Amino acid sequence: MERLTAIVTNINSYVWGLYCLIPLLCGTGLYFTLRLKFVQIRRFNIAWKNTFGGLNLFGERAGKDGMSSFQALATAIAAQVGTGNLAGAATAIASGGPGAIFWMWIAAFFGMSTIFAEAVLAQTFKGKDASGQVVGGPAYYISKGLGSKFLAGFFAIAIIIALGCVGNMVQSNSIADAIHNAFPSISRLHIGIVVAILGGFIFFGGLGRIASVTEKVVPIMAGLFLLGGLYIIVTHLSQIGPMFKMIFEGAFNPAAATGGLIGATVKESIRYGVARGLFSNEAGMGSTPHAHAVANVKHPADQGFVAIMGVFVDTFLVLNMTAFVIFVTGALPIGAAGNNGVVLKGIALTQKAFELGLGSWGLPFIAVCMFFFAFSTIVGWYFFAEQNIRYLFGPKGLLPFRVLVMIFIVYGSVMTLDLVWELTDFFNGLMVFPNLIALIGLSKLVSKSLNEYDEQNRLKA
């Protein structure tokens, strides 16, 4: 098992390195940013209005014809805002230095245009399955748009394994660890069983229950986390200036920014910042288009604008809040000094930061946030995988898949997940290739859709 883990880890270091997916994803984002004339800037006001103008925690129940635009965004954000927002930023900082956050910003900026393209294509090529349920996502725009059933099938299999199965094991394990660490009397197995039952209740409720849960949970969990983080920042205002100095200095001189605490190079700062940022906001990975496909909107570009806000919320609000709390509390050097000189990474560094900022409330606060973040990701990832089960097997494949996911959730809560983490990264990487091929191949349709939208609204004005 250790040998297999080492092999997959080595493969991932290349796939998610500076010479493969990072330049491909960033290059695609740059391409669409230029082709769409900086749509993420030009139409940011429309994206904000389309998103928050329709915010409603008790919207109309979703059904076979789809869900509201905000419900679709909430489902997408449910998947985007997960354990990566608590652990991913901390890992990037500990491995790549403070400057990694700067490169996260760069990746997210370009990712906004990529995710716009994904949402537009998902809306353009959505359809209905044998039961009359609205379906869509990369498998559909790859098969209908590119005309490649092979690539569509390849993508569908990769995302079912990456998100629906092994990915949800990682999420349930994160929940079990966080709750067990904060409340040791509660066993990981019992936590896993409860999470599986809650998940099953939502899975078997179909699209209506998924939308109903995400539209309520996502704003509440994001608001709770942001308020907790904002309190810490307000009580450490004197550290805001030094924090931004560390970030910008660290982007180009990591050693100087930390006084040699982290022996990162500029290359490592870019690698960890961009990789963790892309992994968190999922722009270009082909996951969130499944949610945007089922939104009820008048024009595909409408949902494209909403998708832009998904990356904004994930990276520039939630992910930044984690990073800022780590910086202003001094958790990075304190964590190293109190840990025999070893720099804390991942969720341990985030927990240390919130413990420093909130005192005894820090650990239970992160445990609660971890539960909501990871559980919402389970719901979102299940839905994305379900869309591909429908693509491959139709509605008849849903029952066994739902049961299988519940089993994976329970199993994941009690096992050591080094290999599963690596497999999740690997299959996530496999998803990206056919999706990017489709995005570039169908880019004319994306440009045409945006131009049509602009022309229609110009005539109305």
Q: Say yes or no to pLDDT of 256 above 70.
A: no
Please determine, for residue 445, whether its predicted confidence score (pLDDT) is greater than 50.
yes
- Under 8 Å CB-to-CB from 283, ≥6 apart: which residues? 25, 29, 107, 108, 111, 112, 114, 115, 118, 311
pLDDT (mean) for 286-306: 92
pLDDT confidence of residue 61: 61
What per-residue confidence (pLDDT) applies to 193? 94
**pLDDT > 70 in the chain, percent:** 90
DSSP state of 134: E
For 6-54+68-459, CATH gives 1.20.1740
> Which run of H or of E encompasses 127?
strand 127-128
249 vs 446, higher pLDDT: 446
**Global confidence as pTM:** 0.89
Measured in whole angstroms, how far is the alpha carbon of residue 213 from the centre of its chain? 18
Tell me what the mean pLDDT of segment 33-62 comes to.
80
Whose tokens are 């970030």? That residue is 247
Strands 134-135 and 127-128, sheet pairing? antiparallel
Tokens encoding 143: 């098969």
| pLDDT surpassing 70 at residue 167 | yes
Query: Token pair for residue 40?
Result: 């993420």
The per-residue pLDDT for 345 is: 66
Q: Please list, in sequence order, all residues whose beta carbon lies within 8 angstroms of the beta carbon of residue 35, skipping any fewer than 6 positions away.
A: 443, 446, 447
Q: What angle do CA 43, 48, 52 make, to 5 degrees?
A: 155
Mean pLDDT of the chain, nearest integer: 86
Q: Looking at residue 349, what is its pLDDT?
A: 83
Please say if the pLDDT value at position 243 is more than 60. Answer: yes
* Residue 324 near residue 354, CB atoms below 8 Å: no
What region does 341 belong to: left with phi over 0, alpha with psi -120 to 50, or beta? left
- Looking at residue 155, what is its pLDDT? 96
- Domain definitions of the chain by residue range: 6-54+68-459
- For residue 389, the model assigns a pLDDT of 95
Q: ∠ at Cα 386 (161, 84), nearest 5°?
A: 60
Q: Which class for 157: exposed (0-12), middle (13-18), buried (19 or more C-beta within 10 A)?
A: middle
Q: Please determine, for residue 196, whether its predicted confidence score (pLDDT) is greater than 90.
A: yes
